[in-house]
Chain A
């Protein structure tokens, strides 16, 4: 993958569409609700469909096509709020005998892996790698505290992809949230006309779309940067993560507002997407901490661009 990508290849996009259909057939929006009721069924609920899709045969670390397919799969998983850490598993380092990788903060180690019996590695932004040797009680959206045992300090090259792929999952969530919102405002009538006829509603929708489309293009850039092994791949990943969290704030704020009260209800998909977007937005670092780390890392050099 040498040339910067403005769009995923056709094969990856087709794979993403296949995954969307497969997740729908496997239960679609019901999956996350079923998993929440019984977290230890997460693997049973979606393990088979992920196997059928060949998810764990994708080589996101060393194969450019595999990397694009992995990104497309994460996006499709996000679309259905799939109750499974697809991105974390696809980010698995090649040199460790584990099932997946969780990027963690120095001062707080947690991951959305409650209810799953898998072998995990963790890595900090400085490349310190650990085995996950214990975990706490599973909280909202399967988040659990992790107990770590340091193994080595060779994980610097693992971090960028570990940050980028979850942003693709979040992108899929935003795709869906916007789609659901368009459907809602087209259907719902007030004052004798659909909400979509009100310019105040239309303009809010564009706020969401500008953020969503901006995240999409940065996600492609950071994917390319990580895949090409650019020296600045981690900074690119952090820039993506910062934008992803900001985009999620805007998109979910708009989508909740335009859904009105029904958007909070368990019977409405938006409410599930919204609450299950939280772990990705919060872990390993929230918005301020992500921006702070990015600022410290780029120093006075800034991001690679036209004039730097």
Chain B
């Protein structure tokens, strides 16, 4: 069982390596990766140094080039692929048919992982990526429960990786334009969701109102902390009543599901959060290392409190639990 940890900056990469990551994933400082936030990500030089540092400690580096290439500007994505290979990346995480096809032809020996953004949600889709591009691992979209994951793993020879902690998409990844409908900035095209540049807070009638692109996403009373207005976790009104009609402001914590996910045959566990600081990275990675060690030794996992690390006030196991749908 591999533990895959986020690295938004060289400092986070070092923190993740030192805290016991088996692999870290990161991206270049541009629109080629799905965490294209100000102040984050790696220059070419930083990636080369980061790979060298990680490899000295026996840790792998996976490079996410997982947005969809802009028409007429495919060169930017091709360069990112070439430079990641040159820097010694152990795998590339790709979502677009165009980037997968290019990487497979241009760098035939390079290990390729299918990004969660590709939304490969069944064994036939996984087989397509494995046979067409030689993909060796697929990161599963968060639409499946553990039993479904187990039956998928049995049907394919491709490795699988699942998210176990951090931000939680409630829509199928790679097929969501909610953010660009409100702001013009989308995960697929720009590598951002509900971008801070389009967020505003205002006080109205004693409530703090949060908006995204001019649309009210939530309204908080005096006793409620004003959370970040991620579009799919806002409060809205329908003829059936008002509230969190898509999902509450929760984040994913599947720590308790790890034994079941391991038994399902999952190869790697992934922690979300390239936008988080090194303290978060170090804390979460260390906690998961402890849990995995206990599972490996057949002990029951220690009760580690990750609540302080969760982005929202509460956590969920999301689609892994039957009935979430």
- Is chain B found bound to chain A in the same assembly? no
Measuring CB to CB, which residues of chain B are less than 8 angstroms from any residue of chain A?
none
